[in-house]
Amino acid sequence: MRAARFHGLPSGFVPKHGVLSPEQRLVVEEIPRPEPRAGEVLVRTAACGICATDLHYLHGTPTFRSPPVTLGHEISGTVESLGPEVEGIHVGDPVLVPAVVSCGQCIPCRTGRDNICERMTMFGNHRDGGFAEYVTAPAAYVVPLPEGLPLVESALVADALSTPFHAVKNRAQVRAGENVAVFGCGGVGLNAVQSAAAFGASVIAVDVSEEKLALAKALGARETLNPAQGEVPKKIRKLTGGGVDAAFEVVGRPDVLQSAFESVRPGGRLVTVGYSEEDWTLRVNRVMFREISIIGSLGCRSAEYPVILKMVREGRLQLAPLISARFRLEEINDALANLEHGKALGRQVAVFGP
Ligand SMILES: [Zn+2]
Ligand SMILES: [Zn+2]
């Protein structure tokens, strides 16, 4: 089968921000089709979303499995075959494969917080992922797609939609009538916008790209702000009469975290969804005096997938407008370059089949 694999960075290679060099390309190659082991299914990939996390590996964040590893963790497809001891799922079933497999044994798993499992494994990181024609996955973790859900678009539910949905619903616990700001309108941020709007919040979307802000508006943002046109926290405090109830940072940059923090009203919540390896210096006295909650958010609990799929089916959450471009596997490096250069609107997906 064909797979787009990461072979690691050459020793001594120093990645640069905003640039993808030839050394950082995925290699599209022929590898043996995997066999599903006991308890696993083989999924024929229909689509796999292309995420900023994939770029982090190309910039030096190590994958847990040593390269070569097939990247991609936002997968939809159909069940091609079953390994031994698999029940309750059938050949031909349309499924989505959540980004992470949890252990079911640790305390987070046993308390319903399997998204922060202590022994989680992730597709395209600990194990081969979805930039390939086939992928094996534990049968217990794949989520059957209800009738009427489009196979390609549903890939987004595996991460781009589920991650911000969890942040909005479970971590920030956004309620109807609240003011919310979303900093960063990439594939994940736009879904934070539409999730918060779906729960009845008034959403202010923030991004440097007018194109992304226009899409945020189409997905339910009430206001949009571009940092290029003046200081955002000040404008947000003015628009809301003192600050938002909840701000979501979906970029992963200390200066953006700082803006999000300054946009929160006393008693409000700042939720960090973006990934950064840099430190952020925080004025703790402001946190104390204003009783601001700073909340981390990672991935999505498995219990939420049926809820999200139901909301998609009812038209309360959308998938189609989020997909800006479909790429064949051979074009995947072009898609990664778009993402690196901030040119990807919504989510780009790799698609397979006719
Ligand atoms: Zn991702
Ligand atoms: Zn666990």
Q: For domain 2-159+300-351, which CATH number applies: 3.90.79.10, 3.30.460.80, 3.90.180.10, 3.30.930.10?
A: 3.90.180.10
Note the ligand closest to the C-alpha atom of 161: 1
How many A from CA of 38 to the centre of ligand 2? 20
Taking residue 214's Cβ as centre, other Cβ atoms within 10 Å add up to: 16
Q: What is the predicted pLDDT for the residue at 19?
A: 86
The tokens for 24 are: 């950082």
- What pLDDT, in 10s, does the model give residues 271-283? 999 998 899 999 9
- What pLDDT, in 10s, does the model give residues 191-207? 999 999 999 999 999 99
All residues at 6 or more sequence positions from 110 whose CB lies less than 8 Å from its CB, including other chains: 104
Picking from 142, 127, 155, 150, the residue whose alpha carbon sits closest to that of residue 47 is: 155
pTM of the model: 0.95
Confidence of residue 290 (pLDDT cuts 50, 70, 90): very high
Ligand 1 ion: residues within 5 Å (CB): 51, 53, 159
Query: Domain 162-296, what fold?
Result: Rossmann fold (3.40.50)
The residues spanned by each domain of the chain are: 2-159+300-351, 162-296
Residue type, 354: P
Q: Is the pLDDT of residue 48 over 90?
A: yes
pLDDT mean across residues, the chain: 96
- What pLDDT, in 10s, does the model give residues 217-237? 999 999 999 999 989 999 999
How many A from CA of 178 to the centre of ligand 1? 27
How many A from CA of 300 to the centre of ligand 2? 13
How many A from CA of 184 to the centre of ligand 1? 15
The tokens for 261 are: 């923090």
Angle between helices 210-218 and 187-198 (to 10 degrees): 30
